[in-house]
């Protein structure tokens, strides 16, 4: 999308892209689905005239067909219809599209994309609240402890098998792989658990800064004190550290919104009000 579009134009393109995507998905999964269903009805018997091997092959071909349609032709579909931001390339689908329709601007970088919808300067007045429902926070904390305990048990258990049993190449490799898996669980739990306090804290983010409320105590951090801003793409956590603040602020996608609209707006706030580029990391 190079020049500004009108909202009716954007709507038409969105409908066309959605139709196209629906057709692609249906033509990708329907043949495979029908084949699997007839396979189940025939109780695993191959189609008449097909050997079991050929029957299996048909399924592989149908699977490959689905993958090519969805990942080959489906990729970049929204961009082909001009449904992406000219500035940051964000695709306008789902909640991002609704945002553009309502505000006329890209939810990620705030660039004006519609000529007939003027954004009411979304970043100056609005505030964005990040608060986990209490039961979900506690559920996550219990899961985190569980994953860590499981990792530790796997590491210790297979470590002791490795050390005590007589040497066998196969067993050694098996044990080492399982120990690595246990270590991966431990790392994951530690990385996610870094922000455990954030799960129990309510954050209100606006153009002035971030207010954190933890156990009835409010602390305000202004953007000019921002010291570190990093976004971990694997865990989808935005971590902010302010001068004088002891604990890091970890903002995650509380609404479980696949487009992360709220988080995108806050990332933009960090860069425009905090005057700090966000460091992108994996973990």
Considering the complex, what minimum distance in angstroms separates the CB of residue 103 from Zn ion?
Answer: 12
* Rounded CA separation 193/189 (Å): 6
A 10 A CB-CB count for 89 gives 11
Alpha-carbon Rg for the chain, nearest whole angstrom, is: 25
| Candidate list 11, 15, 38, 87; residue touching Zn ion; CB under 5 A | 87
* Rounded CA separation 226/127 (Å): 18
Q: Which residue, 96 or 232, is less far from Zn ion as judged by CB?
A: 96
Q: Euclidean distance between the first and final Cα of the chain, in Å?
A: 33
Q: How many positions of this chain bind Zn ion (CB under 5 A)?
A: 8
User: Looking only at residues 206 through 235 of this chain, which bind Zn ion when binding is defined by CB under 5 A?
Assistant: none
Is 1 an interacting residue with respect to Zn ion (CB under 5 A)?
A: no
| Candidate list 5, 10, 81, 90; residue touching Zn ion; CB under 5 A | 90
Is 88 an interacting residue with respect to Zn ion (CB under 5 A)?
A: yes
Considering the complex, what minimum distance in angstroms separates the CB of residue 108 from Zn ion?
Answer: 4
Are 1 and 82 in contact by the 8 Å Cβ rule? The answer is yes
Are 29 and 79 in contact by the 8 Å Cβ rule? The answer is no
User: Segment contacting Zn ion (CB under 5 A): 25-33, 88-96, 126-134, 135-143?
Assistant: 88-96
The SS3 assignment for 165 reads coil
What's the angle, vertex CA 143, arms to CA 163 and CA 265, rounded to 5? 125
Strand (E) positions, the chain? 128-130, 202-205, 209-214, 217-222, 226-232, 237-242, 249-252, 279-281
Q: Which residue, 211 or 272, is less far from Zn ion as judged by CB?
A: 272
Taking residues 106 to 125 in sequence order and writing x for each that binds Zn ion by CB under 5 A, - otherwise, the string is: x-xx-x--------------
Q: Which residue, 27 or 111, is less far from Zn ion as judged by CB?
A: 111
Taking residues 42 to 81 in sequence order and writing x for each that binds Zn ion by CB under 5 A, - otherwise, the string is: ----------------------------------------
Is 5 an interacting residue with respect to Zn ion (CB under 5 A)?
A: no
Q: Which residue, 112 or 190, is less far from Zn ion as judged by CB?
A: 112
Q: Which residue, 85 or 199, is less far from Zn ion as judged by CB?
A: 85
Q: Which residue has the tokens 């490959």?
A: 64
Among residues 91, 92, 109, the alpha carbon closest in space to that of 100 is found at 92
Binding site for Zn ion (CB under 5 A): 85, 87-88, 90, 106, 108-109, 111
């Amino acid at each position: 999308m190079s020049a500004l579009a009108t909202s009716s134009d954007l709507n038409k393109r969105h409908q066309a892209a959605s139709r196209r995507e629906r057709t692609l998905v249906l033509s990708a999964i329907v043949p495979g689905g029908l084949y699997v269903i007839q396979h189940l009805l025939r109780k695993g018997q191959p189609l008449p005239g097909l050997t079991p091997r050929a029957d299996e092959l048909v399924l592989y071909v149908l699977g490959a067909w689905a993958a090519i349609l969805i990942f080959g032709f489906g990729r970049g579909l929204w961009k082909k219809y001009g449904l992406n931001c000219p500035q940051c390339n964000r695709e306008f689908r789902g909640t991002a599209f609704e945002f553009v329709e309502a505000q006329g601007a890209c939810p990620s970088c705030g660039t004006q994309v519609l000529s007939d919808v003027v954004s009411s300067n979304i970043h100056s007045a609005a505030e964005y609240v990040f608060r986990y429902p209490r039961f979900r926070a506690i559920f996550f904390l219990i899961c985190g402890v569980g994953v860590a305990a499981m990792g530790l048990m796997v590491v210790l258990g297979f470590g002791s098998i490795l050390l005590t049993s007589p040497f066998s190449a196969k067993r050694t490799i098996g044990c080492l792989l399982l120990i690595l898996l246990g270590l991966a669980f431990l790392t994951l739990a530690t990385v996610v658990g870094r922000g455990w306090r954030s799960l129990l804290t309510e954050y209100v983010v606006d153009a002035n800064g971030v207010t954190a409320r933890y156990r009835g105590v409010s602390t305000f951090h202004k953007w000019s004190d921002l010291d570190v801003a990093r976004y971990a793409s694997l865990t989808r956590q935005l971590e902010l550290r302010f001068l004088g603040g002891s604990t890091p602020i970890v903002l995650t996608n509380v609404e479980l919104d696949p487009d992360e609209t709220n988080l995108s707006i806050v990332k933009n706030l960090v860069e425009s009000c905090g005057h700090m580029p966000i460091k992108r990391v994996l973990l």
